[in-house]
Amino acid sequence: MIKIFLTITLLLLSNCAISQKAGLETKPEVTEMKLQKEFDSVPAPAQKKITVAVYSFQDKTGQRRNTPNVASFSTAVTQGAEPFLIKALQDVGQGLWFDVVERVNIDNLIKERTIIKQMRDMYEGANSKNLQPLQFAGIVVEGGIIGYDSGMESGGIAYKWLGIGPQSQYSKDIVTVSLRAISVSSGKVLTTITVSKTIYSTGDSIAILKAFKGGTAFFEAETGLTINEPTTLAVKATVEAAVVELIKEGERKGIWSYKTIINNNEEKNEKQ
């Protein structure tokens, strides 16, 4: 009887903990970069910064979120991952590789510039100062989320001893991102990269089935917790990996090169 009481108490406490966690209000946090070390370890370019433009980077799969027994209209992945790509291009190699010009909302930018020009002409007349010309890009970075395969693998394990035992389950999804660099002057596709990332979902639970009063009464209880890796953050990490690989692939093909670091001793010998 004491064991049953302790078991019930443990289950109630677990239930309270889960309920409190579900209702916990958290503050917004800045999203961390998953590949910070890889971003910082990319060697500096031999040339000056490359000006690139990003017009769109969207979901090309059209896949809906997998919801059992429910017709879901929510998409499996984000429909606009351009901010992830722009941020990755700005930060890679400690910010020494790319200058990104605004093209996603270029219409809004042109409208605002038109308003400024009209106001200057109205109040300053013929002597109105012209706006600085927009910077053009030498390379357009294109691509998108080209694959999201759900339920690629699933499994679990469970065991019970005297009616008490844990259970663990997992499932695996895969998201695939494609990225390519296009020369503006020639229209040639300079390099193309495809990167995939595994997304795991895990669930742990414990079940209790006990008989007492000579097998005439039964007690059954179950508690558990499921953790799903955020799909949006998985897409962000995949885009970051694609940018790093894009630079490496471009260096291998001779599109650009890394800055050569000369040792101080070698520099002195050369001078002598």
CATH of the domain at 183: 3.40.50.10610
**Residues 234, 192: Cα–Cα separation, whole Å:** 20
196 burial class (0-12, 13-18, 19+ CB within 10 angstroms)? middle
Q: What is the DSSP letter of 34?
A: T
DSSP state of 257: -
18: pLDDT strictly greater than 60: no
Higher pLDDT residue, 87 or 34? 87
214 vs 22, more confident: 214
Q: Which residue has the higher pLDDT, 201 or 268?
A: 201
Best mean pLDDT range from 20-29, 91-100, 209-218: 91-100
Residue 153 counted as domain residue? no
In a domain, 212, yes or no: no
Domain count for the chain = 1
pLDDT of 271 reads 41
Question: What's the pLDDT score for residue 267?
Answer: 42
Identify the domain containing residue 119 by its residue range: 31-147+177-196+231-259
Domain presence at residue 183 = yes
Q: What is the mean pLDDT of the chain?
A: 79
Residue 158 lies in a domain: no
Q: Is 20 part of a structural domain of the chain?
A: no
Cβ-based burial of 20 (10 A; exposed 0-12, middle 13-18, buried ≥19): exposed
Please state, in angstroms and rounded to a whole number, the distance separating the CA atoms of residues 206 and 225. 10
What confidence tier does 208 reach under pLDDT thresholds 50, 70, 90? Answer: confident
Q: Is residue 42 part of a domain?
A: yes
Whether 66 has a pLDDT exceeding 90, the answer reads no
96 closest CA partner among 271, 256, 268: 256
Residue 170 resides in a domain: no
pLDDT tier at 115, thresholds 50, 70, 90: very high
The answer to whether position 211 is within a domain reads no
Residues written for the chain? 272
At residue 52, the pLDDT reads 94
